[in-house]
A and B are shown apart, each in its own frame.
Chain A
Amino acid sequence: MTEEREITEKNNQPLDTRGGLVTASAPWAFLQERFPRPDFESGYAPPEAALPAPRGLALEYLDVVVLMAALSLAAFLALKRPSRRSFFLLTLFSLLYLGFWREGCVCPVGSIQNITLVLFDSGSVIPLTVIAFFMLPLLFALWFGRVFCSSVCPLGAAQELVMIRPFNLPAGVIHFLGLLPYVYLGVAVLAAAIGADFLICRYDPFVGFFRMGATLEMLIFGGFILALGTVVGRPYCRFLCPYGVLLKWMSSLSKYHLTTTPSACVRCRLCENSCPFGCLLKPAPERDSEPRSLRIRRLALAGVHPFSHRGGSRSRPPGSHSLIEDSSDGQSGGTRRAGAPGNGPRRD
């Protein structure tokens, strides 16, 4: 079933059944040799059944190379040459190659389950390509931030391309929905660990589009996510994708990160308005130190109340309000917006 069990070598060796003992796994194996093959007099030779070989191993490695090249290009574009046009072309390529051409399997998102299964099931093995697909985006996130999601991942690319008029959601909504991937990751890892199912693959909303065929429920779900994606930036990535959780952990430690320069910020808030994912927080001064008793209580609650860390906008420096009002007339917005890649890594 779901496990990648190696067909043991015993099964591939010739078994001697002439002694009458057929060690078959099916009880009717005895009954299936009833009609001996005739000795043909006309010199008839049975044909070989034509059995097409699977895709070659070299092509599987080519996919890894393509993934690596796309990640390198995405990192280069994000950090050195940010431009919407280049990102758009890379996104389109990823969607066509990894999505429609390779039909979405194996993808880094789903490889979580292969890794989990191989760790928990002693009988399973894993191909090198799957490990590469799992590790490469994580390693890139560790160095360059989350460059995988919008322009390399075929799922992210599909949503990126339908993002027509994204509206910013309230910060609380984003934060609450942002907890769902943790739940999804936990359930998916559990299901894979016990060998029950690969939930992430089963409920992948876009793989049906890539393969041009899916169940009605999944088509409706995928269509809904795409329709939602026209007004909410990449909803699957932000509010469901379990691989995004791993990338987030890696990205928060990344070495060369796309970042703002707080010392040079004039608080025009153009970047904040142009980011469709609500990643850029309002500029705020350092918070004052809290009284000791409050700090102790907060530390005690830290484990049970994870909602309270987005308190940066509580106090705003005086005078910043007028700056925001003055600079939001939009006439200088074009150049700034073009320079600020909307798909940069989250600043967390």
Chain B
Amino acid sequence: MVERESIDRRSFLQTGLKGAAALAVTAAGAGAAFRLSTDDRVWQIDPWKCVQCGRCETECVLTPSAVDCVHAYDRCGYCNLCFGYVHPNALEQTTAAENQVCPTAAIRRTWIEGPYYEYTIDETLCIGCGKCVKGCVTFGNGSLCLQIRHDRCVHCNICAIARSCPGRAFSRVPARRPYLLKTGGGGGDHGRRWRNPSASS
């Protein structure tokens, strides 16, 4: 007593419409395959576009933010008076905590020779507020820059910081070249604005 299933007009129309929609969805997926990238994509900040607004610290879905300050040493001037390190309007020019720019004291200052000091970022303390970056860009070589650290970033489909970045500095970059650092400026290293950390240089 198998009943032969008769198809009425309504179900014919419904199936037809859904079939067309399903075809469209499949075509969309296939169409997207034309712009295929074999590499994965990760978010990163273009330091040349960064305006140091401070939202990297607050807008990230992670606390503390996945953005940290990174020091491009080959661009640094190794200044004694570093405005990424001390406030320009500090009452006294000492390294006392109240004179330091970094709110978490994540910048460590080490004497090298003569008037030259090395500045190192402690990533465990850095909160990505960008205050030191602002000082360094305004008064210095701009060797400090904010970068997304990929051991912490959870790779949101839409980066919460990117959505509110006033400089539109965020973009997805190939995972093979996951960092965008300023280089050059110092010594004999002129002419190279970008360094590819994974490439041999």
Chain A interfacial positions (CB closer than 8 Å to B): 1-7, 11-18, 24-26, 28-29, 32-42, 44, 46-55, 57, 60, 103, 105-107, 110-111, 113-116, 118-119, 124-129, 131, 134-135, 138, 142, 197-198, 201-202, 208, 211, 213-214, 246, 248-250, 252-253, 262-263, 286, 295, 299, 302, 309
Contact = CB atoms under 8 A, between A and B. Distances in A.
B157 A106 contact: yes
B157 A113 contact: yes
Contacts of B170: 1
19 contacts: A1-B162, A1-B163, A7-B177, A26-B49, A29-B48, A33-B185, A36-B185, A40-B116, A47-B120, A51-B178, A110-B157, A118-B35, A125-B37, A127-B38, A127-B40, A135-B26, A138-B29, A202-B158, A263-B2
A126 B25 contact: no
A286 B3 CA distance: 12
A119 B31 contact: yes
B35 A54 contact: no
A261 to B, nearest CB: 11
A14 B191 contact: yes
B145 to A, nearest CB: 10
A250 B116 contact: no
Interface in B141-179: 141-142, 147, 149-151, 153-158, 162-163, 165, 168, 170-175, 177-179
Interface residues of B, number: 94
A111 B31 CA distance: 14
B109 to A, nearest CB: 14
Contacts of A6: 173-174
B35 A126 contact: yes
Interface string B57-82: 00001110000001111111111000
Pairs A-B, 5 closest by C-beta atoms? A37-B186, A35-B77, A46-B73, A32-B142, A198-B158
Q: Interface of chain A, helix or strand or loop or mixed? A: loop
Contacts of A208: 61
B19 interface: yes
Contact of A211 (B2, B62, B149): B62
A25 B3 CA distance: 72
Contacts of A198: 157-158
B55 interface: no
Contacts of A131: 29, 32-33, 36
Contact of A34 (B14, B77, B187, B193): B77
A128 B38 contact: yes
B103 interface: no
Given A48-B73, A57-B175, A213-B62, A28 B112 contact: no
Contacts of B162: 1-2
A7 B2 contact: no
B172 A119 contact: no
B91 interface: no
Given A15-B191, A105-B155, A7 B173 contact: yes
Contacts of B156: 105, 201
B113 A42 contact: yes
Instruction: Kindly name the residue among B9, B19, B116, B197 whose own CB sees the greatest number of chain A CB atoms within 10 A.
Output: B116
Nearest to A3: B171
Given A40-B112, A208-B61, 20 more contacts: A1-B171, A2-B162, A4-B41, A11-B193, A14-B191, A14-B192, A17-B184, A17-B191, A25-B49, A32-B185, A35-B186, A37-B78, A40-B116, A51-B70, A54-B175, A55-B150, A126-B35, A198-B157, A262-B3, A309-B10
